[in-house]
Amino acid sequence: MSETFVKIDSINIDINNDVDNNKIDIDNDIKPHKNKPITKIDVSPNEKYLVTYSREDHSIVGWNIEDIDEGRLNFDHTVKINPKFKSIDQICVSDDKNLAFIYNDLNGLEIIDMNNDNQVIELNLDNSDFEDFRVSYHYFTFNLKGEFILHNKIYSDRTAYKRHKIIWIYSTQTKNNKWICKRIYEIPKDFELIGISKNDKFYLFSNNSIYEWNILNEKSKRMFKNEENEENEWKVAKISSNENFICLRIKDKIIIYSIEIGISIASLDIHNDIQIHKFMNQISLCPLLLLSLFDYIPSCKIWNSITEHCWKECLGRLTKDYQLPKEYQNKILPVPLNNIKTVSKYIFGILDGYVWKIKLDEKISKINFLFENSELNNKSDEIIESNKKTNKEALNVHFLNSYKDMIHILFQKGISNINSAIVEKELIQDLVIWNIETSDGKTIKLKVFKRIEVYNKWDLICTRIDKFNIQNSIGFCFNIGFYEIKLFNDDDIGLLTNMGLLIYHFNKSENSISLIYFYYMDLGLYNSLIPKFSLAKLHYYKKVFSKLPLPSPNYISFKLNDEWTLYIKENMKDKENLLKYGIKLLTFAIKGHKLELINYIYEKCIIYYKEDLINNRIFLSIITFTMPVLNEYYPEYILKYSLETNMIIDSSFYNIEHQSNNLHLYSFQSLQIVNLTRSILWSKYNKLLYKFWKNQLLIIIELLIILLTLPIFSIIFFILYILFKYNFINDLYGFNGWFLFFHTYIYIIFEYIYSRSSKYMSTPTITFMIPYIKFVNYPQNYNWLLEILIRPQSSPFVKTISRDIYKTWNGEALINFKWNTYGKYYYAIIWIIFMAFLCCFTAATTIPKQYIIEDIRKQLLIISIILGFIHLSFEIRQIIYNPIKWIHDFWNIFDIITYVLLIYASIYWLQTNNRNVSLITFSCLFLNIKFLLFFRVFESFGIYFAIIISVGKQIISFLVVLFIILISFAHAFYILLSPESDYSFKKHMNNDPNNPWNIVPTYNKVLDDGTIDIYPFIIQSPDKNTNMFEDYRTAFFAMYLFLTGDSKALSNWSYIDNPSLIILIFLFSLLIVVYLMNLFIGLLNNAIEKDNNRVSYLIQKAEILAEIELFYLLPHQRRWNTWFPEVIYYYANVDKTRKKIKEMIDENEWYTNDFPELKQELLNKLNIQQKPNS
């Protein structure tokens, strides 16, 4: 593209005198603001209306923006300011001409409906008129939806101990001349609001950091931190944003933050013209957004030249279209304008008391501006060369995003050509020809020809051949075919193939072609077998590529082409490319067992984080996001990461503060804006009550209520405490009546008593960061139906249950955060529902008939069935989610047996009216044991449950061996001791020694001469348990009894007459009872010793939390930033930290290789002397 050079001095306007000037009808006698200087200017959110304020004239004037496309605006409405408003501090206007302004040093707010004779509008929850309240207004604006957003600070004599920083959001639908509050938020005390964007994003300042908070999803993030700037410099920062970038101006510096990759990508000096021009030359970085940060800055040559250029172009278009007012014809106009306001596509400036609307040239970034007597004039060659170098950085993620519209066209044409794929195409662009072909169906060959004008011919200047190993998962190969090929610009070309989307870049300075983007799409197979399905998939991918940012290359993209993988690796020297492609490339390296590439990416992430601990923590998310794959293939990297990042912070120094003694390992987010919307009704009630507070009769009634409620004050206090804790009530208006009593005298007393307890005593605590960045986050795009009914998407936390994570404080603090935020509440609800299930079934099956009505029993059984199916449904969802993992968890099998047994027993009883005692017996047994399992969430119980399962898994093979040996001995005893012939329990039959009749006790008669009769006088009747070896099943049970010490089953035979029996008993006793059982006890001791620790308990708790997240939380709840933040911090007791570090040093687990300076800073802070060899 050819470059434009602009030389600007003064602007002369020459008009054809033959033109009919009557076309421009402007009454110059009417001057807005009586021709007094304009002090402030503001534009409505959708740029439909504009207002100006003149301090000298004490007036506000409205201007219609949409009336003209460009030129001088017509003023629409004038508002005279009441003299009591001594000064106007801020103004803003909505698209429907609602005007708001803050006056008298932030102490007053006025809202006027300019469409309704300047009718004053009130806010239904405004508390500025209360005598004992002090309110200061600090910021307000209208958003794109027309809502009014107000930020103020409230001070009250009743709540002097607390200052409130509140954000109010009001609907602008007027009702009785009032706007109704829709939402309320409270900003933490350490934060200050510095700006609000039109698309509901709030920007706050705290501790030299800028935070963004999205009111739509309540997601917050720290964008930038710089400890060099003073606090007052941050507070006057100017912010501009769009869907891709956030631009932050602090004094003479502009910081560009990329929303897609989550880091600042540039820091620009306003006075460095070459730097700004180079940056603006990258079309994807939106120069119009950058310009919106500039006020009129005389020392900024780029800014001055741009406004002058746009002003000249505007006057030229107005002159050409005969739209220039007649008083400016044949007149030299001043350059530049005054009081300039920049919005998305226009500049608004003041000339002769009027507002002028000037189009911003969308191609200004491609213009090289020349200035007389300017250093920039001498450096224009440097600018051009710098731009060329910038264009060489083709693998810029933001540069690729600028091709969204062209990729959309590529897909549209590709869909129409899906049944007629081509294998070769040639495209001509200016002096370059691109030739693309695939001759063998496995390679793509690109040629670039350049025209040599002297000889009038085309010369081949470079060739690239890419070979792809095309073979899908079922082994079907297909040939490459092109659906559509399109040139994006002089240097870049897009190829939509049945293999995927490829973008190539031609480097003119090096005469080389590079593959800069490749996203694999398996369309070749379906196009060959099921064309309609291939078309549907192409439509799906069209939808995927219609959104920004472009999707990252997938796993197969790297697998098919080694040169593409190598190219990405080489360009990971650029931080942006590492953040864009790092996760997918690391996943590919892990699955492909490429250890060198794994280590390279891992080290790069650690190095970039160490370069800027404050702003580069996002690089750690590349490692944490791939932990599920690392845990499967290379778990040693998780151990390495956990130990090396233990006790780190995203700052250059550690901070020690005095906190409550019970806050050890307490986790929190850095920015926690409180949503008080639930308390709107309470605020309305409290405001209404406030009006009558001085009424003596009402006070007497309130006192009577207090006296009457004293007997049940504990119940009322508990209810009010819960309501206050969960923001159903607030103290923005102070407290009135009986609630004032309970809050002031009960709540404060309670706080005082609690503060005197040992747990509340303050102690030095140090703050650490949990290094698992984005570890708990779920994908933002989801299908509600699939998430609920079939297979919910998971997070790295759910997929990675590793001992190496939870053996450090980081893992334990992570569990504490999840448990305290939502886990304990959902677990309590699940437990309560199960208790209802248990009580209903137990009552129905246990209470005797004489104490329960049959209808009530049936109702209890029906309730049991319903609750059973509810529990069973969650188990079924777990089976669908991951059947293999479900089977490997013993408690899952136990749970489903419990629920199925109880449901079946209840249905069987209802259907047959028959109480099956055996079925009910086992149902109650399993149900009571299931109740016991709920205690595993408590540490004192949980460790034992963890031991039970872990030990059971370790000794399962031993138990199998023992089981086989028992079967073998049971078989041997069965052969030896089973009856040889048939017998009957009713009749003594034969002399078989193993016949039950011959081994039962007999009683002989004593004769008169003292001798014993040889014939039995009484014979005890045998039963099935007399000879347990007559049946193989009872023989096995007899061996089990013998194993436990009960040898009665073998005592009915004479040992002297049965030497074989003696040998078997001896072998069984020696081999099993003596040797194997003692070996078993030893194995148990070793296994118990191994798992008798907090790690096993924490892993068990992590599994419970993962189950709650996946199957009990709703899909949108899993995306709540307050529950699943990107970054979590935690407090640690300083004394316990010292002890823990010393233990880690002694056990050689104190790793300092990656963060030696940071770890040494921690040791110095805690006064720990480390041995030189540690």
The full set of domain ranges for the chain reads 1-30+293-393, 394-573, 808-936, 938-978+1027-1092, 985-1026
Phi, psi for 674 (deg, rounded to 5): -90, 130
Spell 400-409 as b/e; 16+ CB within 10 A means b: bbbbeeebee
**CB 204, CB 222: distance < 8 Å:** no
CA angle, corner 1121, sides to 1119 and 1124, nearest 5? Answer: 75
More confident residue, 487 or 712: 487
Q: What is the pLDDT of residues 917-972, one digit of tens each?
A: 889 999 999 999 999 999 989 988 888 888 887 787 778 888 888 889 889 988 89
Q: Model confidence at 695, in pLDDT bands (50, 70, 90)?
A: low
**CB 796, CB 773: distance < 8 Å:** no
Q: What is the rounded CA–CA span in Å between residue 99 and residue 78?
A: 11
In the chain, the N- to C-terminal Cα span, in Å, equals 62
Residue with tokens 């207090």: 706
| Mean per-residue pLDDT, 187-200 | 86
Write out the H or E segment, with its range, that includes residue 632: helix 627-633
Cis peptide leading into residue 549 (ω within 30°): yes
**CB 602, CB 589: distance < 8 Å:** no
679-683, 870-874, 1033-1037: which is most confident? 870-874
Amino acid at 847: I
Helix (H, G, I), strand (E, B) or coil at 940: helix
- DSSP characters for 759-804? TTSEEEEEEEEE--TTTTPPPS---HHIIIII-----HHHH---HH
**What pLDDT does residue 12 have?**
44
More confident residue, 720 or 895: 895
Residue 940 has which token pair? 């004192």
- In Å, how far are 82, 1060, 1077 from 1047, measured between CA atoms? 107, 16, 16
Residue 149 has which token pair? 């957003």
Percent of the chain with pLDDT over 70: 79
Pairing label, strands 338-342, 148-156: unpaired
pLDDT at residue 1052 greater than cutoff 70:
yes
Helix (H, G, I), strand (E, B) or coil at 625: helix
262-266, 463-467, 1049-1053: which is most confident? 463-467
Q: From start to end of 488-544, where are the E strands?
A: 492-497, 500-507, 512-520
Q: How far is CA 1102 from the centre of its chain?
A: 18
| Mean per-residue pLDDT, 855-881 | 93
Burial of 625 from C-beta contacts in 10 A (0-12 / 13-18 / 19+): buried
Closest CA relative to residue 738, chosen from 769, 711, 702, 764:
702
| Mean per-residue pLDDT, 791-814 | 93
Query: What's the chain's average pLDDT?
Result: 81
336-340, 356-360, 594-598: which is most confident? 594-598
Residue 775 has which token pair? 């570890």
**What pLDDT does residue 9 have?**
42
Contact residues for 672 (Cβ-Cβ < 8 A; gap 6+): 188, 1122
Residue with tokens 């709650």: 1108
What dihedral do alpha carbons 882, 885, 886, 891 form, nearest 10°?
-150
Q: Model confidence at 770, in pLDDT bands (50, 70, 90)?
A: very high
**CB 53, CB 60: distance < 8 Å:** yes
Q: What is the pLDDT of residues 1083-1124, one digit of tens each?
A: 778 777 776 678 889 999 999 999 999 999 999 999 998 899
98-102, 123-127, 782-786, 1072-1076: which is most confident? 98-102
Helix (H, G, I), strand (E, B) or coil at 557: helix
The whole model's pTM is what? 0.82
Amino acid at 171: S
Q: Model confidence at 380, in pLDDT bands (50, 70, 90)?
A: very low
Contact residues for 169 (Cβ-Cβ < 8 A; gap 6+): 147, 148, 149, 150, 181, 182, 183, 184, 185, 215
**What pLDDT does residue 806 have?**
93
**CB 770, CB 1130: distance < 8 Å:** yes
- In Å, how far are 141, 201, 212, 911, 1053 from 196, measured between CA atoms? 7, 6, 9, 65, 94
**What pLDDT does residue 381 have?**
47
pLDDT at residue 62 greater than cutoff 90:
yes
**What pLDDT does residue 2 have?**
36
Q: What is the rounded CA–CA span in Å between residue 538 and residue 528?
A: 14
Q: What is the CA radius of gyration of the chain?
A: 40
Q: What is the rounded CA–CA span in Å between residue 832 and residue 218?
A: 30
| Mean per-residue pLDDT, 26-37 | 70
**What pLDDT does residue 634 have?**
95
From 343-352, 694-703, 1025-1034, the region with the lowest mean pLDDT: 694-703
| Mean per-residue pLDDT, 379-402 | 50
Helix (H, G, I), strand (E, B) or coil at 1046: coil
pLDDT at residue 251 greater than cutoff 50:
yes
Q: Model confidence at 200, in pLDDT bands (50, 70, 90)?
A: confident
More confident residue, 417 or 767: 767
